[in-house]
Amino acid sequence: MIKNDGGIFIIDKPEKISSAAVVSHVKRIPGVKKAGHTGTLDPFATGVMVVCVNQATRLAQFFLHDSKTYEGVMELGIETDTQDITGSVISRIDIDSSSADLSPDSFSPASLSSEHIESVFSGFKGKISQIPPVYSALKHNGVPLYKLARQGKPVEKPPRTVTIHSLHIIKIELPEIRFEVSCSSGTYIRTLASDIGKKLGCGGCLKKLRRTASSGFDISEAISVEEINDPTKREKIEERLISMPEALPHIPEATADKDLACRIMVGMPIKKQDILFNVDVRPSGELVKVVDENRRLLAVVKEKKNSPVYDYCCVFPE
């Protein structure tokens, strides 16, 4: 039985179901009263989903801007309206795989060299500009873009800057290219694949996508939907719940004595000298997670500039 304070599950989302459906499966675990994910995956995509349960749903705000890592497969020569293989084809060019070893000088839409492909991929590292796809969950006047696009009223959002921390090719087997990318939150991998295809001159779309890491959690830590739904594995599933303090490993931790814990529970101001960090050197980050002597998360607080007290981000009463 999951306790009321909850924690997070790392779920390996399968193909052909929505992110909301994954959350619905998690809600079937005994003791889970509420749940929510920290980042949507398209139905055709698989991999890491961070799902917060019970009081830990209030921690979602601390995961929304974290980096993510993906493995993907793009198919050259095909462009679709959704920028992935699930959409309607809007252009097609036959790619001759026998041309893969030609030199860059002889490049044409039907003849791609591995050197030229590597060069184009390199150009997408660092800060880049992306136009969000018209088939996305972003909203226009309160309506998701994908709904407007399905009504024949596509809306194009202005470009925005995202960061590609790393991007490398795993395998070229034309017309497919398997790659790995680590990127900032808000990056559309299908848009990245589409833009690379355009740069290569032949077009391209995303064929497969698997999120292998998110918010510091790896696919190796994930549990499957099948395991969640297997009554014989219920105890093991409950053991895989990551506690709230462990869910925020990147935020410095401080332990409150009984007096400070009582003050936090009633929302009294916390001064900087009240906080004793669990390290020898005071961390420089703005956020602090405060735990009690049993290491139960009491609150997440934030430093205020030019102020001796912290602001409360969230408090977790008994």
For residue 29, CA distances in Å to 6, 46, 60, 127, 218 come to 12, 21, 19, 41, 22
Q: What pLDDT does residue 99 have?
A: 43
Confidence of residue 96 (pLDDT cuts 50, 70, 90): low
What number is the average pLDDT over the span 173-201?
96
- Flag whether pLDDT at 102 surpasses 60: no
Q: Is 42 a catalytic residue?
A: yes
Q: Are 254 and 277 in contact (CB under 8 A)?
A: yes
What number is the average pLDDT over the span 145-155?
84
Q: Give the percent of the chain with pLDDT over 70.
A: 92
Q: Are 204 and 75 in contact (CB under 8 A)?
A: yes
Confidence of residue 100 (pLDDT cuts 50, 70, 90): very low
- Considering only residues 154 and 160, tell me which one the structure prediction assigns the higher pLDDT: 160
Domains recognised in the chain with CATH numbers: 7-66+216-243 (3.30.2350.10), 68-211 (3.30.2350.10), 251-315 (2.30.130.10)
Q: What pLDDT does residue 283 have?
A: 58
Q: What pLDDT does residue 284 have?
A: 59
Q: What pLDDT does residue 48 have?
A: 98
CA 256 to chain centre: 32
Confidence of residue 5 (pLDDT cuts 50, 70, 90): confident
- Average pLDDT, whole number, for the chain? 89
* Distance in angstroms (rounded) separating the CA atoms of residues 257 and 244: 19
Tens-place pLDDT, residues 203-216: 999 999 999 999 99
- Considering only residues 97 and 57, tell me which one the structure prediction assigns the higher pLDDT: 57
Q: What pLDDT does residue 155 have?
A: 87
Burial string for 29-57 (b: 16+ CB within 10 Å, else e) reads: beebeebbbbbebbebbbbbbbbbbbbbb
- Flag whether pLDDT at 196 surpasses 90: yes
Neighbour tally for 247: CB within 10 Å: 25
Q: What pLDDT does residue 39 have?
A: 86
Q: What pLDDT does residue 187 have?
A: 96
Mapped onto helix, strand or coil, the DSSP state of residue 243 is coil
Neighbour tally for 192: CB within 10 Å: 26
Q: What pLDDT does residue 145 have?
A: 82
Q: What pLDDT does residue 2 have?
A: 84
Confidence of residue 280 (pLDDT cuts 50, 70, 90): low
Q: What pLDDT does residue 104 have?
A: 40
Question: Catalytic: which of 12, 42, 84, 274?
Answer: 42
Q: What pLDDT does residue 142 have?
A: 87
